[in-house]
Amino acid sequence: MENETLGKVGIDVNERNVTASDTSGVATALDTSNVAELKERYKAIRAKIGRMTRQDNRISQRLYARYGTREKNRTAQALHRVSKAIVKRANEKKFGIVMEKLKGIRKLYRKRERSEFVFQRSDEFLDVPRSPTPD
């Protein structure tokens, strides 16, 4: 049995925000700039670890693992909050969720590593199949 939806919520994922717009005309921008700032902060921390532990590979590996796990968990938590808000709003209105097809987007923004991560993680949290865009 398939769930009946009364409308759709379209999601646009950007580097510093996620915009959700539904068929009733309501658009909401959810801020994800904290994720980009988190990635920048941990990039600086990794650079500092590299400078401080240049002589001892064992310690540097342990620190990289520790801070890498922290970064992953904090990023996942922030993105989970955003996706949870979108799903909650869609469930309240009994709307289906539709995401844009992002095929080829990484080629456009090769030098922007942060945007790749946000696109990838939003897919995992929302667990929404991509709908083909009309040409």
The predicted-structure confidence for 15-25, as pLDDT tens digits, reads as follows 888 889 888 88
The predicted-structure confidence for 44-81, as pLDDT tens digits, reads as follows 999 999 999 888 889 999 999 999 999 999 999 999 99
The predicted-structure confidence for 104-122, as pLDDT tens digits, reads as follows 766 766 655 555 556 566 6
The rounded Cα 74 to chain-centroid distance in angstroms is 12
- Please check the confidence at residue 1 and state whether its pLDDT lies above 50: no
Residue with tokens 């095929």: 103
* Cα first-last separation, the chain: 31
- Please check the confidence at residue 124 and state whether its pLDDT lies above 50: yes
Q: Which long-range contacts (C-beta less than 8 Å, at least 24 apart) are formed by 56-64?
A: none
Q: What is the pTM of this model?
A: 0.67
Among the residues of 19-56, which ranges form H helices?
A: 33-52
What pLDDT is stored for residue 65 in this prediction?
93
Question: Mean pLDDT score of the chain, rounded to an integer?
Answer: 82
Strands (E), the chain: 7-13, 17-22, 27-31, 95-99
